[in-house]
Amino acid sequence: MQYKGDLDFAKALDRNDELRSFRHEFHFPQRNGRDAIYLCGNSLGLQPKNTRDYLEKELKSWQENAVEGHFSGSHPWVSYHEHTKETLAALVGAKTTEVVSMNNLTTNLHLMLASFYQPNGVRRKILIEGGAFPSDHYAAESHMRRMGVDPDENLICLKPRQGELYTTEEIVQAIKEAGDSLSLVLLPGIQYYTGQSFDLKAISEAAHSVGAFAGFDHAHAIGNIPMNLHEDDVDFAVWCTYKYLNSGPGSVSGIFVHEKHSADPNFPKLTGWWGHEPKTRFEMNNHFKPALGADAWMLSNMNILSMAAHRASLDVFARAGIQKLRDKSLQLTGFLEFLLKSDPVVSERIKILTPTDPEQRGCQLSIFLTQDGKEIFEQLIEKGVILDWREPNVIRVAPTPLYNRFEDVWDFYSILRGIFAC
């Protein structure tokens, strides 16, 4: 697309946007007497307007049915998680049996590590990215210590050879260099700080070639970019749902487990009664029989109110479709990049850390401010722009295709330029 640096061009793109009606399905915080310019879906997604209805339906069921709500009504609680499977599978490129909504992100990561970190002999190492999100780093370290493995010697914190970004080749090379000593590769689908996406297929192939597992944290990828976890032969993945999936603060998480592992009833896992095969779960005989697929990793009955909010947003995604969202996202983020780079007033004061190749990023651009970073961020907030700050001197800007307009991108750029021009 040939972009133009003016407001009329942005408005024309909005008029021709086939997804434009979805914006009206979300609540926007108010700032300075108008809708905020909300570019922070990478941190917390906006509330869908249908969320209240979904929650109130389950509150009413609780009120009217009490314990019988587990087995009565249009969406009995005992099987409520099943209603999220189809859309989740479409979002991550999986079979419905390979995904399930449950727990929160770090809990699920611990569950996956308990299954997929299996140190044996010299095979003891975990490879993560240097500067991993703290929870991922902590989880990897804690499982190593639990297994009597020294993280100082066996946790490979891979750093890019140049600058902030990795190449697929250097990741693959690091995996092959670790060789027989490598037990697990644990990387993000999209790196939270830079916004760089990773080649899941190439990384998984490299891990398997040396006998290691490949797992991914998709907190910043799910609902942002299309994925093909099954075909890419990923072993496991975890994600949260409060960012691009708009399921509410601290809402339910989810997992993917490839069927080649879940089909093995003896594959190691931490077990709970909700992971037991549903038909005999309530016989309470204390002989664990795993449920089908990823459901075998479930521990307890789900938080229905959190799940209701999750289902409300997933139903919006089902109507929009991840590929159409991706197509719009490429244009939105491309327009933002064009405005920032083509204006000398702006471009001389910033550095974009995120890859310029659209195939190596989602909708987030991480912008390094060369001076007065925190002051500029605070001025943006005062002027009604909501985004987030990361040390040192980085603002993450995420034009989200479900509810952001091209005009939002223009408004952010215009305000930022005005601050720089003062």
Structure confidence by residue, pLDDT tens digits, 109-130? 999 999 999 999 999 999 999 9
Q: Judge whether 320 and 20 are in contact, CB under 8 Å.
A: no
Mark whether 230 and 354 lie in a shared domain. no
CATH code of the domain containing 188: 3.40.640.10
Mark whether 375 and 249 lie in a shared domain. no
Mark whether 278 and 300 lie in a shared domain. yes
End-of-domain residue from the set 284, 318, 352: 318
If you ran DSSP here, which 8-state letter would residue 301 be given?
Answer: -
Do the domain assignments include residue 286?
yes
Mark whether 14 and 59 lie in a shared domain. no
Mark whether 161 and 258 lie in a shared domain. yes
By the 10 Å C-beta count (0-12 exposed, 13-18 middle, 19+ buried), 311 is classed as buried
pLDDT digits (tens, 9 = 90+) for 199-240: 999 999 999 999 999 999 999 999 999 999 999 999 999 999
Mark whether 21 and 139 lie in a shared domain. no
What's the confidence (pLDDT) of residue 296? 98
What's the confidence (pLDDT) of residue 225? 98
End-of-domain residue from the set 285, 318, 351: 318
Helix, coil or strand: residue 155: strand
- Could you tell me the two tokens for 272? 């709970």
Domain housing 115: 54-318
Do the domain assignments include residue 388?
yes
Give the integer Cα–Cα distance in Å for 48 and 203.
35
Mark whether 167 and 260 lie in a shared domain. yes
Do the domain assignments include residue 2?
no
What's the confidence (pLDDT) of residue 307? 98
Q: Judge whether 86 and 92 are in contact, CB under 8 Å.
A: no
- Could you tell me the two tokens for 24? 């009206």
Mark whether 34 and 179 lie in a shared domain. no
Do the domain assignments include residue 156?
yes
pLDDT digits (tens, 9 = 90+) for 324-346: 999 999 999 999 999 999 999 99
Residue 15 pLDDT greater than 90, yes or no: yes
**Residues of the chain with pLDDT > 70: what percent?**
100
CATH code of the domain containing 39: 3.90.1150.10
Mark whether 360 and 247 lie in a shared domain. no
Do the domain assignments include residue 308?
yes
Beta bridge pairs of residue 214: 185
Residue 60 pLDDT greater than 90, yes or no: yes
Give the integer Cα–Cα distance in Å for 229 and 205.
12
What's the confidence (pLDDT) of residue 155? 98
What's the confidence (pLDDT) of residue 422? 83
Mark whether 277 and 379 lie in a shared domain. no
**How sure is the predictor about 133, in pLDDT bands with cuts at 50, 70 and 90?**
very high
Mark whether 42 and 72 lie in a shared domain. no
Q: Judge whether 390 and 409 are in contact, CB under 8 Å.
A: no
Residue 277 pLDDT greater than 90, yes or no: yes
Do the domain assignments include residue 1?
no
What's the confidence (pLDDT) of residue 362? 98
Do the domain assignments include residue 299?
yes
For the entire predicted model, the pTM comes to 0.96
Give the integer Cα–Cα distance in Å for 159 and 164.
8
Mark whether 238 and 371 lie in a shared domain. no
Give the integer Cα–Cα distance in Å for 118 and 126.
10
Mean pLDDT, rounded, for 99-105: 97
> Could you give the number of structural domains in the chain?
2
pLDDT digits (tens, 9 = 90+) for 368-386: 999 999 999 999 999 999 9
